[in-house]
Structure 1
Amino acid sequence: VAVADVEKFRALASEENLEATPIARVTDEQRLVMEWRGQRIVDIARSFLDTNGAPRTTSARVDAPKSYGKPDVFSPGYSTDNNRVHSPGHHPGGGTDPAADCGNAHAFADKMQKLVCDLNVCSGERISEQFDATTGAGTVLAPLGGVLRRTPSQAMVHKVFDPVRDVKTCSLMAWGYNPYISEKDPFRGAYLAVVESLAKLVAAGGGTEETYLSFQEYFERLGQDPSRWGKPLAALLGAFRAQDDLGIAAIGGKDSMSGTFEDLHVPPTLISFAVTTAPLSHIASPEFKQAGHDVYWVRPAGSESDLPDGNLQKATFKMVSDWMRRGGVHAAMTPGYGGAAEAVFKMAVGNNLGFAYDAGWSLEDVFGYSYGSFLIEADGPPADLPEGVRCDRLGRILEEAELVWEDSRTPLAVLIDAYESVLDPVFPVPDSLDCDLQKAEELLQETFRKPFNPLGVAFGLQTPYAGAGGLQVPAGQAIEQLADLQAIPEELKSGPAGTDRNRSPSVALPSDFTHSGTVPPALNRAAPHMRTDRPTVLIPVFPGTNGEWDAARAARNAGADVDVFVIRDATLSQIAESAEAFAGKLRSAHIVVFAGGASAGDEPDGAGKWIAAFLRRPEVHEAIDAFLAERSGLMLGIGNGFQALVRTGLLPLGEIVEPGAQPLALARNASGRHRSDIVRVRVSSNTSPWLIGTNRADIYHVPVSCAEGRLVCSPELYNQLLDQSQIASHYVDDRGHPTMRFPFNPTGSDFAVEAITSPDGRILGRMGHFERGSDGTWINVPGHYDYKLFRSAVLFFRT
């Protein structure tokens, strides 16, 4: 920053609630000078720094590589010491697997059971759920895909961020590494890590053009042992050989040589990260799409060595990329640690489809390493096959959820149960916690049998529905039988392109993925106190929140003007100034959105406390009262914002109350940990202006990401909120029934409540992040995502 611009830069930083402090000055003296407490403590010539310090040398010896067959933990009967090397990219030759000679049901089923229980293969859902996978409103491939959200994505795919435009270019990243190979042979381990990372990009729809690598290296403490120094040397040579063979360069990386604790040492580690970009239209997901489709195994032909031929591997990458871009490919995955058998299983579980292997394949083929190859679900084989590239039919997708090998049939359900339970001792599911689920479910179902007041006090209307006593819901029947009380306006019956489509068109979905039947005539809604074609949405940004960009873009796309206002808290005076400014903005705003995130790190004493304290400041409190009473303003709290509205009493009371007087609470999830997932919610009341575009009983898919999203509510208060139509939506299972069970109810929220409103419906709080959806997001999770939340709010002020 130029000296003349320092203060201007600091002022801009202060507006964003950032501290900017000058720490150094660039001079022409060619020296690095540091002072501390008035004393000069560093004064070094630039020419010395350019030498990178005193030179050091050491000796390195690359030991002969060892065989890297599958480890015993994966396949009992295999011996790591006497098993020959599996050649990637072609049928292995020489040596036999004792189990392969059996050729019977027990051999295949036994190997599959052990495979899915291997820590390198088992479900990683319990780990991935702890990281927010949908923030930024650009996630193209969810971590787990398919109707059942079980097929893991092999690459990160995210739309390039733009705060205003909906960009159709995606950023892709994938990794490759096998510790068992690298432990035996660091050279080949590093080479195959590069191949694996690139293959994952290709399988996701990326190419190898404009693709770059970055390496993460981690080795034991080296000391002066030449053999230890030989491990990183061999790994770097292997990675360099792969770059040279494939014509793709590494542009960065990070290394560490401290992976030793007493007698414990990390295996030689060189993880390859491959990055590229691709158009959204090229992206493919790995889950099987439709029964009856054939699956082909594309591989480079064998070479004289145990590494793939570089030219053939490049030809394979290009052939698969071109095939996918021409069309006719429905899913693709590259085999990893567990070979083709692992890939088939994981591609099948997402949509609960089975698979029958063709005759002629051996267990050795499908369970062996095959890095750089691809399993392709396609309408038929490719038209053109480069010389040296093989494409053989592996088998066919089945409607029945089972794996068929020769005369054996292994139920998918049995394997899934083992696959998903491996990490339960480390990450227990809420069902294993101390709670009476049956009693909770019975109480939940009981609430849906009682008379229902469809409008309650929403908008101040007292109109009864269907005569005295309300509508009776027969015991044991789902609430889809309750008629919709408000018709969807014509303006909201269609959504933006891509927001209301089946993301996997060939996957058959339950009927309740779409809107329910006919819509009865609309009842009169209360009109706003003011009308405008372009309402102003005020979005305060508190320290730690991160959802303002997603909410702002969704509001703009709905036709609103947006005012994003940063709350500053570096000093007491800044807090006071921010409170006054926010109160002033409320006087001209129509809608206020409290976005998600982790305000003040959700500390102390839980989430939303900082925001709640700010809203209770006298000047802000008074402005909110006027905003709600005089301007008929709308208010929305998402995630962290929902927590703040509950803490203040704005939900469910519609007004701010003294600390401790609020009747509800949002507590830590029943699982005791963060949960990021895409769940199903069902509209229970559409009387709120925020829900004009929905029908009661509509089911939507929505991402959640929270650690403190469990609504704690007494049965008496729940019944009161239900009677007053303040329960906006419930978490539901795959049948559309509200449930307390994990993972359908991701937080363990009492009575499966996902969203609630104030008595007049103008304040809405919810844990689901509907604002994160856009065209092309979550293409591997079929569902109905267009909640029309902001479009409904805008329409409220236009009518």
Structure 2
Amino acid sequence: GGRTGRDGCGGATGSSRKHDEESLASSGAEVQKGNPLIERNIQHLFRKPEVSRMIKKCNDFGAGGVSVAIGELADSLDIDLDAVPVKYEGLDGTELAISESQERMAVVIGRENLEDFLAAAREENLEATPVAVVTDTGRLRMKWRDKIIVDMARDFLDTNGVTQKANITLISPEGENYLQKAPVDTGDLKDAWLKNLASLNACSQKGLIELFDNTVGGRTVFLPFGGKRQLTPVDGMVAKIPVQEGDTTTASIMTYAYDPELFMWSTFHGGVYSLVHAVAKSVALGGDYKRVRLSLQEYFGSPGRDSIKWGKPFSALLGAYLVQSELAIPAIGGKDSMSGTYKDLDVPPTLIAFAVNTVDANKAVSPEFKEAGNRVIWVRVKQDKYSLPDFTDLKEKYERIHRLINDGKVLAASAIHYGGVAATISKMCFGNELGFTFNEDIFSGDIKEEDLFLPDYASLLLELKEGAAPDSLPDAILLGETSNEGLIKIGDVEIRLDEALESWAKPLADVYSGRIEKTEGINKETRDINIDHYAPEKRVQPRIRIAKPTVFIPVFPGTGGEDELAHKFMEAGAKVDEFVFKNLDAGLLEESIEILAGKIKKAQILALPGGASAGDEPEGAGKFIATIFRMPAIQEAVMQLLEERDGLILGIGNGFQALIRLGLLPYGEYRELDEDSPTLSYNVIGRYVSTMVRTKVVSTLSPWLARVEVGSEFVLPVAHGEGRFLASEGLLEELIKKGQVATQYVDCNGNATCDIRYNPNGSVMAIEGITSPDGRIFGKMAHSERIGDNVAKNIPGDKDQKIFAAGVEYFI
């Protein structure tokens, strides 16, 4: 993997001490500077069976760097620090031994496999260097500049150093019981409802979450926000297990839970409910609680010799252990830090529980309400006199919920979040703009208004399919029914969904724009931008037919969508040829350019996938690809593909950006860029965005769109920071007139729009994709390859543009 530098030296120790105003200057270099492009190459290398079978042991270069990553791999080792690849000269032996960086892996392989392993690494554009040998001396030795600078007995290292002890004092929770106290004054129910949604622990984090690519890999079962409006947050991550061939219905679930306010009241209860809430979320998504495995992340203020401070992590872990014992589920890993102190300020006591599980993707359930007129029940887990869950009741109800979900009787499910039933019901309404009406007698029994706001973390809300009996769960409370009214009704109190949504969206809107509010005219666009449909009677045809066309997919440093693209083309019946472009040295670079040109000459289709080529630096997205494609040999091969073999070119995301930079779009040939050339610029909201968009086909000029009708709409993922299509008025008119504008961003009514809720990058004329004059080159920002069975299940709409089948059929 990556080379070693001074960044990351002392990271482990630096993260375990108190900090102050001087820390930025004194400890800034301790922070690791990762390289995700290299990390991805390592993933690709390790997933090859012939490579993974060579690896006897492996370790990442986390805390401690070489000394730990390699030092842990065998009882006896000789490490040659001079062999460690470096970013620059001047590192001493200590720096080489302790520098931390996550884009490197230490592997143990047999001598007989060395050359094969090194060759396999080169094929993935990775440096691999022998730096140590396993010995039988019983010692860890490190050599630097021909001198032994570390020589330690393994027996000593295995003692883990000097044993330390600390006194612990446990303090019982004081003050009003947090779990029985509403977070807002419920005297005015409507006001309380809206203030509750506006709490920082309940409000929308949509703008933050969209900064992370949530559809890469094309296996995301549930996007972070569901419903046609993409506004109902899911309880956790659900994604199909990656397979290189075929498909699978097995999906992984990952949830997490933590309430800082609960921990401030009681670290023991905090530890209990972090685990219970994470498990409840897994159950809501369709998981079996008995199959959950946990990982715990602890973070506490520096305790020093204060026995009360030591009591906080001890108490939290006791609470976690209680849940593990009662539910018979283990923790398989975790991480801790006791350095959450800045001068005299401590972080809130923290134990975040992560719950991992598996589920049949066909059975997984998302939380957005699905239909009007369905009954919703509150499955309320009993508590004992200490406000702890009745685990017998919990296990029985979780098992029944799991059976109901497997039987298809649950349409939507959610664990109860911070803000209680009130906040959870609201968020379940937002996604599909469905209202909710509480039963008129909801407060006639034991339930009080305050109960709707309690942090009832062990309990769940279920929307039942028509015909499913609410009494199929013991003690279930029938809360009410979903509706089409756009209101939440509780007796005489009516809360409009739009005002609830505003309260929920506003708190962090200035920090992370969530694209929730209407923003028509953000580009000063007031005209009608719906483009007249263009459907030619005939499209361009190839002169030579081929039964199984070859698709060539080049993989550049930072490419991130080649797997999905290859899978879709193979699914459509094509032969796929992939090549990893190598630039580790000048010789490999020249060799790669020659190979690239040769492979283009043998292909019928050139497909440029998405990602972030060379990290999209310097000077913007797609520049690295464009630079390579302007090499004379490659330029000649591309034009032969187009002019002599009637070939096709597809560019998605980063690939589209490269085609624009080359002039291949929209002109169909290489051109130098000038002031009149179109471009893909930074998103108008000033940040990266990962979400689903609705696009409409407005021209079927291109062979790539031969299998869809003009006017067809599709819901597809976008994930980019530079996707805003810009062009001069004159060029726009020409593109529209010739049918080269292929697709537009549209709203839920099918109208082209510059509203960033639907056109998140702010493209002029809402343009999402364009073609060359004859349609054989097609570029688009939306990732048509990131689709499949059980993918984006919580977003309604047709997701298959059939462009891959159309591209293959063009030659048949």
Asked if TM exceeds 0.5, the reply is: yes
Q: Which residue of 1 aligns with 2:695?
A: 681
Q: Which residue of 2 aligns with 1:317?
A: 398
Tell me, yes or no, if structure 1 residue 224 matches structure 2 residue 302: no
- Alpha-carbon shift at residue 209 of structure 1 (Å): 2.9
Q: Which residue of 2 aligns with 1:367?
A: 453
Q: Which residue of 1 aligns with 2:136?
A: 28
- List alignment gaps of at least 5 residues for structure 1: 68-82, 88-94, 449-478, 487-522
Separation (CA, whole Å) in 1 of partners of 2:200 and 2:307: 32
From 216, 228, 252, give the equivalent of 1:135. 216
Residue aligned with 1:677, SS: strand
* Contact kept? 2:184, 2:195, Cα under 8 Å: no
* Contact kept? 2:227, 2:431, Cα under 8 Å: yes
One-letter amino acid of the structure 2 residue matched with residue 485 of structure 1: A
Tell me, yes or no, if structure 1 residue 46 matches structure 2 residue 154: yes
Residue aligned with 1:679, SS: strand
From 273, 276, 289, give the equivalent of 1:192. 273
Work out the number of aligned pairs and report it: 698
Paired residues for 1:306-705 under 5 Å: 306-358=387-439, 359=441, 360=443, 361-378=447-464, 379=466, 382=469, 389-428=474-513, 437=522, 439-442=524-527, 444=529, 448=531, 479=532, 482=533, 485=535, 523-658=537-672, 660=674, 663-705=677-719
* Contact kept? 2:374, 2:482, Cα under 8 Å: yes
- Alpha-carbon shift at residue 428 of structure 1 (Å): 4.1
From 334, 346, 354, give the equivalent of 1:253. 334
* Contact kept? 2:581, 2:592, Cα under 8 Å: yes
Q: Which residue of 2 aligns with 1:267?
A: 348
Separation (CA, whole Å) in 2 of partners of 1:349 and 1:579: 51
Separation (CA, whole Å) in 1 of partners of 2:500 and 2:249: 38
* Contact kept? 1:430, 1:670, Cα under 8 Å: no
Separation (CA, whole Å) in 2 of partners of 1:6 and 1:547: 30
Tell me, yes or no, if structure 1 residue 302 matches structure 2 residue 387: no
Percent sequence identity is 41
* Contact kept? 1:646, 1:662, Cα under 8 Å: no
* Contact kept? 2:519, 2:757, Cα under 8 Å: no
Q: Which residue of 1 aligns with 2:194?
A: 113
- Alpha-carbon shift at residue 648 of structure 1 (Å): 0.8
Separation (CA, whole Å) in 1 of partners of 2:642 and 2:399: 60
Separation (CA, whole Å) in 2 of partners of 1:671 and 1:734: 21
One-letter amino acid of the structure 1 residue matched with residue 305 of structure 2: Q
- Alpha-carbon shift at residue 19 of structure 1 (Å): 0.8
Paired residues for 1:49-88 under 5 Å: 49-67=157-175, 83-86=176-179
Separation (CA, whole Å) in 2 of partners of 1:433 and 1:391: 39
Tell me, yes or no, if structure 1 residue 714 matches structure 2 residue 764: no
One-letter amino acid of the structure 2 residue matched with residue 155 of structure 1: G
Separation (CA, whole Å) in 2 of partners of 1:295 and 1:661: 58
- Alpha-carbon shift at residue 282 of structure 1 (Å): 1.6
* Contact kept? 2:648, 2:777, Cα under 8 Å: yes
- Alpha-carbon shift at residue 585 of structure 1 (Å): 0.9
* Contact kept? 1:381, 1:391, Cα under 8 Å: no
* Contact kept? 1:683, 1:697, Cα under 8 Å: yes
* Contact kept? 2:725, 2:767, Cα under 8 Å: yes
* Contact kept? 1:294, 1:380, Cα under 8 Å: no
* Change beyond 3 A, Cα 1:661–1:629: farther
Q: Which residue of 2 aligns with 1:492?
A: none
- Alpha-carbon shift at residue 427 of structure 1 (Å): 2.5
One-letter amino acid of the structure 2 residue matched with residue 150 of structure 1: L
* Deviation sequence 1:353-409 (CA, Å, 0-9, x none): 1111122242111111211111111135658757xx521101111110101111111
- List alignment gaps of at least 5 residues for structure 2: 1-108
- Alpha-carbon shift at residue 439 of structure 1 (Å): 4.1
One-letter amino acid of the structure 1 residue matched with residue 564 of structure 2: D
* Contact kept? 1:155, 1:201, Cα under 8 Å: yes
* Contact kept? 2:518, 2:756, Cα under 8 Å: no
Residue aligned with 2:335, SS: strand
* Contact kept? 1:648, 1:662, Cα under 8 Å: no
Separation (CA, whole Å) in 1 of partners of 2:358 and 2:584: 39
* Contact kept? 1:649, 1:661, Cα under 8 Å: no
- Alpha-carbon shift at residue 683 of structure 1 (Å): 0.7
Q: Which residue of 1 aligns with 2:362?
A: 281
Separation (CA, whole Å) in 2 of partners of 1:13 and 1:382: 58
* Change beyond 3 A, Cα 1:613–1:165: same
Separation (CA, whole Å) in 1 of partners of 2:542 and 2:155: 71
Tell me, yes or no, if structure 1 residue 783 matches structure 2 residue 797: yes
* Contact kept? 1:213, 1:248, Cα under 8 Å: yes
- Alpha-carbon shift at residue 582 of structure 1 (Å): 1.0
* Change beyond 3 A, Cα 1:778–1:229: same
* Contact kept? 1:441, 1:740, Cα under 8 Å: no
Tell me, yes or no, if structure 1 residue 793 matches structure 2 residue 791: no
* Change beyond 3 A, Cα 1:660–1:692: same
From 742, 745, 752, give the equivalent of 1:731. 745
Separation (CA, whole Å) in 1 of partners of 2:526 and 2:563: 38
Separation (CA, whole Å) in 2 of partners of 1:313 and 1:303: 12
Q: Which residue of 1 aligns with 2:80?
A: none
* Contact kept? 1:323, 1:382, Cα under 8 Å: no
* Change beyond 3 A, Cα 1:99–1:605: closer
* Change beyond 3 A, Cα 1:555–1:373: same
From 760, 774, 780, give the equivalent of 2:774. 760
- Alpha-carbon shift at residue 99 of structure 1 (Å): 4.8
One-letter amino acid of the structure 1 residue matched with residue 458 of structure 2: G
Residue aligned with 1:409, SS: strand
Separation (CA, whole Å) in 1 of partners of 2:624 and 2:184: 64
Per mean C-alpha deviation after superposition, the further-off stretch among 598-607 and 3-12 is: 3-12
Separation (CA, whole Å) in 2 of partners of 1:194 and 1:627: 58
- Alpha-carbon shift at residue 290 of structure 1 (Å): 1.2
Q: Which residue of 1 aligns with 2:232?
A: 151
* Contact kept? 1:17, 1:567, Cα under 8 Å: yes
Separation (CA, whole Å) in 1 of partners of 2:676 and 2:403: 60
Separation (CA, whole Å) in 1 of partners of 2:671 and 2:338: 57
* Contact kept? 2:745, 2:758, Cα under 8 Å: yes
One-letter amino acid of the structure 2 residue matched with residue 667 of structure 1: S
* Change beyond 3 A, Cα 1:559–1:268: same
Separation (CA, whole Å) in 2 of partners of 1:243 and 1:432: 43
One-letter amino acid of the structure 2 residue matched with residue 122 of structure 1: C
* Change beyond 3 A, Cα 1:437–1:298: closer
* Deviation sequence 1:325-371 (CA, Å, 0-9, x none): 12221111110211111111011111111111122242111111211
One-letter amino acid of the structure 2 residue matched with residue 415 of structure 1: A
* Contact kept? 1:674, 1:705, Cα under 8 Å: yes
- Alpha-carbon shift at residue 627 of structure 1 (Å): 0.9
